[in-house]
Chain A
């Protein structure tokens, strides 16, 4: 029980900054006494697989997205790509835009994460025809 108090959230380190050389993200670290530690790649691929399910329904999309946003991390572009494609399969543009807003909010004070995400997602956004909140002007009050 005491260990739980000192447990560092591995997810805090799992931001996409590991793809950029200029940041040094601390290694994911959980004080388990037993049990396997899930690597960042395993986490990412698990979520990409989740959203890639061809017959994903609207509830599963919402549940997945809300759970993902509940974690202490900003999702990798590939997870978001998979989620946006799921929105396309469900014909839900509003949710796609909402997802972009949500990850921008998740980045919090780190203002350079969101532009990086958009840059990485540009091909997908162009392919699917998703406008960013900035392009629609709803990022301002």
Chain B
């Protein structure tokens, strides 16, 4: 049980460290972006045409397809068109706009830390808090109230006003 939660927390922290720019999908592995001085590829809905195509290194088949692209596009088959798309772009718009399950990790992490805080507060209550003051005891409180009524605290509209002195009870 504990290992599960640490794993979730660990993944949340790792994700927080890498995915710092909102709306940007980091393709490939986490180490794919090393040289930020070169044009970079992003899958972003608001930047549909990134600075460079997704695949730089083309195989011979890719190169011949690129040659065919220079001719009429009506002659390309559907598969070739999709292949050309995938050469330039990593994800389609529906793919990049997919909902993730990240919210579950976030909520889980929130509850986990709330729970942990509860444990901390409990420990504090046992080991750190001083003894409870006498004034909290029921007997003390009763005597305190009686004293206030005897002193006629706020007799017109407030505290003592609510006490019926003849009958000896609250109104």
Which residues of the partner chain B approach A141 to less than 8 Å between Cβ atoms? Answer: 94-95, 98
User: Number of contacting residues on B, CB 8 A?
Assistant: 29
Which residue of chain A is the closest to B80 with respect to CB atoms?
Answer: A93
Instruction: Assess the A70–B49 pair: CB atoms within 8 A.
Output: no
The A interface, classified by DSSP as helix, strand, loop or mixed, is helix
Whether the pair B49, A62 counts as a contact (CB closer than 8 A) is yes
A65 CB to nearest chain B CB (Å): 5
Contact B48 A93 (CB under 8 A): no
Whether B147 is near chain A, meaning CB under 8 Å from some CB there, is: no
Partner of A98, one of B49, B73, B81, B98: B49
Given contacts A102-B93, A139-B94, A129 and B74 within 8 Å (CB-CB): yes
> With A62-B51, A93-B69 in contact, is A98–B85 under 8 Å at CB?
yes
Q: Is B88 on the interface with A (CB-CB < 8 A)?
A: yes
- Is A52 part of the contact surface with B, judged by Cβ < 8 Å? no
* Cβ A65 vs Cβ B49 within 8 A: yes
Closest B residue to A103 by CB, please name it: B48
**A80 interfacial by beta-carbon distance below 8 Å:** no
Q: How far is the CA of A95 from the CA of B75 in the complex (A)?
A: 18
- CB of A102 within 8 A of CB of B81, answer no
Closest Cβ of chain A: how far from B151's Cβ, in Å?
A: 58
Instruction: Name the interface residues of B69-95: CB closer than 8 Å to any CB of A.
Output: 69-70, 72-76, 78, 81-82, 84-85, 87-89, 92-95
- Besides A94-B53, A137-B78, 15 more A-B contacts (Cβ < 8 Å) are A93-B81, A93-B84, A94-B85, A95-B88, A97-B81, A98-B48, A99-B48, A99-B49, A102-B93, A105-B45, A135-B78, A136-B81, A139-B93, A141-B95, A141-B98
Query: Residues of A at under 8 Å CB distance from B?
Result: 61-62, 65-66, 69-70, 88, 91-95, 97-99, 101-102, 104-105, 128-131, 133, 135-141
In the A-B complex, the 7 residue pairs with the smallest Cβ-Cβ separation, listed nearest first, are A129-B73, A129-B74, A94-B88, A102-B48, A62-B49, A101-B93, A94-B85
